[in-house]
Amino acid sequence: MNRLFCVIPCYNEQEVLPETSKRLEKKLKDLIAAGKISDDSRILFVNDGSKDNTWNIIKELHEKNEIFQGINLSKNMGHQNALLAGLMTAKDLCDAAISLDADLQDDINAIDGMVDKFIEGCDVVYGVRSKRATDTFFKKFTVESFYKLMNSMGANTVYNHADYRLMSRRALMSLAEFGEVNLFLRGIVPMVGFKSDVVYYERAERFAGESKYPLKKMLSFAVEGITSLSTKPIKLITGLGFFIFLVSIIVLVYSLVRHFTGQTIPGWTTTVLSVWAIGGLIMISLGVIGEYIGKIYLETKNRPRFIIESYVGDKEDVETSEYVYKR
C-alpha cells in the first residue's frame, strides 16, 4: 500500500495550524480506512523561520500524534525553498507527496481525487482552481494577468495552479535533479514530465492570518519565474533594438530629404523626446540583462537552497533523510 506524505510549508501560521492539522489528520485517516494509503502516511510541516509560535505548535502536534512530523529550517528561506525542503526530505520516505499551503484555502477534499489518479498511474496531479468567485475583481485580474504573462514569456505553467499538487516518488527523484538556486516550482515541475492530470477544486477564503502573497510579492514572483525559466525577455530586447534601428533609418532618410529640399525645421522637441525615449529603453534593457547576470552570479555560487536545523518525526525517517545534519 502507498505511503503518502502531505508537505506543508509554514511561515507565521500559529493561528491556522491547530485547525489545519485537525482537518488533515481526519483526511488521512479516512484515506487509510478506505485502503487507499498505508497507515504510516504522514503530515510533514516545514517551519520556514517563523517568528511566532509555529515551531512549538508543530513539536506539540508530533508529541501528541506520530502522524505529524516537522522540519525546522535554520532561517527564513522563502516559500519555494521551504516547500522544496519538505519534498526533498519526503522523497526517500514516501511513495507520493502532496504539497499544499497551511491556510486551508486549498480544498483538502481534492486530495481524494489526486490519490485516485496516482493509483491509476499518474506521476504528477495538479490541483487547479475551477473558478475565482471569492476573489475581488482586482485580485482576479492581476492573478489571471500573472499566468498569461508567465506563459507568454516562455514559462510553462498550468493555468490557475499554484503549489497544490501530488508528485510520485519517481517524479520527486527527477525534481531533485534540477539544481537551480532561483526556484520557481510552478514552472519546473511541468519540465519533469511523466504522466500527469488535473483535479479541479474551489479555493476557499483564508481560514485565519494574512496572505503571504500580496501584489508586490506576486510581481516579484512573476519576475523570478520569467527570468529563471525563459530567455524570451532578452530576445524581446533584441527585437526592440532592431525595430528602433529601422525607425532611426527612416527618420534619417526623412531628415535628409527635408534638409536637401530646404524644409529643415528646428526639432528641439523631437530631439528631447527621442533622447528620453531611447534613454529609458536602454535603462530598461540594462535592468533586464542585469536580472539575468544576477541570477548567473547566484547560480555559480551554488549556495544551499535550504538548511535543516532539526527534524521531529519517526526515528527511522529522521535517520533515512539525507538532508538532516546528524550530530
pLDDT in tens, 84-102: 999 999 988 899 999 999 8
Do 174 and 242 share a domain, yes or no? no
Do 75 and 186 share a domain, yes or no? yes
106 occurs within a structural domain: yes
Do 10 and 75 share a domain, yes or no? yes
CATH code of the domain in which 201 resides = 3.90.550.10
Confidence at residue 183, expressed as pLDDT on a 0 to 100 scale: 77
Give CB contacts under 8 A, 24+ apart, made by 30-37.
31/4, 31/111, 31/112, 31/115, 35/1, 36/2, 36/112, 36/115, 36/116, 36/119, 37/1, 37/2, 37/3, 37/4, 37/115
pLDDT at position 22 over 90: yes
Q: What is the mean pLDDT of residues 195-214?
A: 70
Confidence at residue 162, expressed as pLDDT on a 0 to 100 scale: 79
Q: What is the mean pLDDT of residues 206-223?
A: 58
State the pLDDT confidence band at 197, using cuts at 50, 70 and 90.
very high
pLDDT at position 67 over 70: yes
217 occurs within a structural domain: no
State the pLDDT confidence band at 202, using cuts at 50, 70 and 90.
confident
Q: Which of 19-28, 196-205, 262-271 has the highest mean pLDDT?
A: 19-28
Q: Between residues 117 and 249, which one has the greater pLDDT?
A: 117
State the pLDDT confidence band at 225, using cuts at 50, 70 and 90.
low
Confidence at residue 327, expressed as pLDDT on a 0 to 100 scale: 36
Do 81 and 180 share a domain, yes or no? yes
Mean pLDDT of the chain: 78
For the chain, what percent of residues have pLDDT higher than 70?
63
Cα 69-73-167 angle, rounded to 5 deg = 55
State the pLDDT confidence band at 306, using cuts at 50, 70 and 90.
confident
pLDDT single digits (tens) 265-287 = 666 556 655 665 676 677 677 77
- How many domains, in total, are found in the chain? 2
Q: What is the mean pLDDT of residues 252-263?
A: 64
Q: What is the mean pLDDT of residues 49-63?
A: 91
pLDDT at position 320 over 90: no
pLDDT at position 152 over 70: no
Do 127 and 20 share a domain, yes or no? yes
Confidence at residue 77, expressed as pLDDT on a 0 to 100 scale: 86
201 occurs within a structural domain: yes
* R_g over Cα of the chain: 25
Confidence at residue 122, expressed as pLDDT on a 0 to 100 scale: 94
Query: 85 lies in which domain range?
Result: 4-143+157-212+304-320
Do 138 and 287 share a domain, yes or no? no
Do 78 and 116 share a domain, yes or no? yes
327 occurs within a structural domain: no
pTM confidence score:
0.71
